[in-house]
Amino acid sequence: MEHLILPTIDCPFPSLMNPHVEAVHEHTLAWVQDCRLVQKEAAIQRFSSSRFAWLTARAYPLADETTLALANDWLVWLFMFDDQFDDGLLGRQPDLLWPLFADLLSLLKEDVKPLPVTPIQLALHDLWQRSLQCTTEAWQARLIDHLTSYFETYCWESQNRLEGNVPEVETYIEKRYHTGGLLIAFDLIEITEKRELPSEVVEHPIFQILTRTTNNVVCWSNDLFSLAKERARGDVNNLVLAIQKKEHLSLQAAMARVHALINEEMATFMHAEKELPSFAPEVDRALQRYLLDFRCWMSGNFVWSLETGRYGQVEQTAAGESVSYIEKILH
């Protein structure tokens, strides 16, 4: 396989660290085991080497221990879910996916909710019950919308893998806005900050630019860091591969192109920040904390991606076989 050099990303935002990181790591390790998301030794080792709490602690540096733990559990649930499709066998079986997703969504929005049975359902049920205690109905409706979009784009990714179809760049960028789960991660800012932004802020065009550019920076940089792992799995869902196909580039040149796009997005973010209007004083203070977390998501993801074992330790498997750390958590 071609040896590739990862571009060095110079992030203009400092990376901060929440002091509760160790306690939250221990909490979530116990939580994933209680929910049966992680049981066998290979899965425990994979969890520990991934250092998820260190990403969460960098993304929400000012959160208290309780809200940081809830945010970390949510992000870990997304990572565990993601692994079932990216590293497991279900990622190439699109016809089987939507019934699984519909069952998960029913835990959140049915008047008479079914009892959770599988580990992934039990964990989501626990997350939802804890989130209900500290969020409004508007937040809950938004989270469900974002989770639904997240599931829908998984079906699209799975179809691409089945067909071996590298997507078009424009389509990929629009779908990537949802597949990364960042909209859910941004919803968690309102839990960690204990304040929801008013609709006049969230729906403002400049705030929408800030949201999209932050999402793009995190997701596109992830495509750089995860490229080796995804190539080893034969995955086709990656911006580097989409640009390579469109522009007829070498992989190294396509990586450089993605790097340049990431830099452009960070520049757009910094310009948009200066254009954001003032709202009420109290809203402005909450907004500045929210934007701090946007910046920390970008910088923290860069740092974490270099220190996590999630991308640097690629397990090789034969065709049709799952990696050793995948648990049976969907059934």
Q: Which tens digits make up the pLDDT trace of 29-39?
A: 999 999 999 99
φ, ψ (nearest 5 deg) of residue 74: -60, -50
Q: Is the pLDDT of residue 268 over 60?
A: yes
Q: What average pLDDT does the segment 255-281 reach?
A: 98
pLDDT of residue 324: 83
Quick: pLDDT tens for 210-266: 999 999 999 999 999 999 988 988 899 999 999 999 999 999 999 999 999 999 999
pLDDT tens digits, one per residue of 293-325: 999 999 999 999 999 999 877 776 655 567 888
pLDDT of res. 318: 54
Residue 134: pLDDT above 60?
A: yes
pLDDT at 321: 65
Residue 182: count of CB within 10 angstroms of its CB:
25
What pLDDT is attached to residue 209? 99
| 224-243: b (≥16 Cβ within 10 Å) or e | bbbbebbbebebbbbbbbbb
The stretch 181-191 carries a mean pLDDT of 98
What is the CATH architecture assignment of 21-312? Answer: Orthogonal Bundle (1.10)
Give pLDDT, residue 234: 87
Please give the distance of CA 174 from its chain centroid, rounded to a whole number: 15
Chain-wide mean pLDDT for the chain?
A: 94
- Where do the structural domains in the chain lie, given as residue ranges? 21-312
pLDDT over threshold 60, residue 205? yes
Classify residue 317 by burial, with Cβ atoms within 10 Å: 0-12, 13-18, 19+. middle
- What is the model's pLDDT at position 1? 57
Cα(281)–Cα(193) distance, integer angstroms = 16
Structure tokens at 277: 């209007």
pLDDT tens column, 135-153:
999 999 999 999 999 999 9
Helix (H) or strand (E) holding 204: none
What's the rounded mean pLDDT across residues 61-76?
A: 99
Give the residue carrying structure tokens 């949802």. 178
Name the one residue in this structure whose structure tokens are 């691409």: 160
Residue-level pLDDT at 320: 55
Per-residue pLDDT tens over the stretch 105-124: 999 986 767 788 999 999 99
CB of 71 closer than 8 Å to CB of 60: yes
Measuring CA to CA, which residue among 124, 109, 280, 131 is closest to residue 194? 131
Report, as an integer, the average pLDDT of 12-18.
97
pLDDT tier, 267 (very low <50, low <70, confident <90, very high otherwise): very high
pLDDT of residue 91: 85
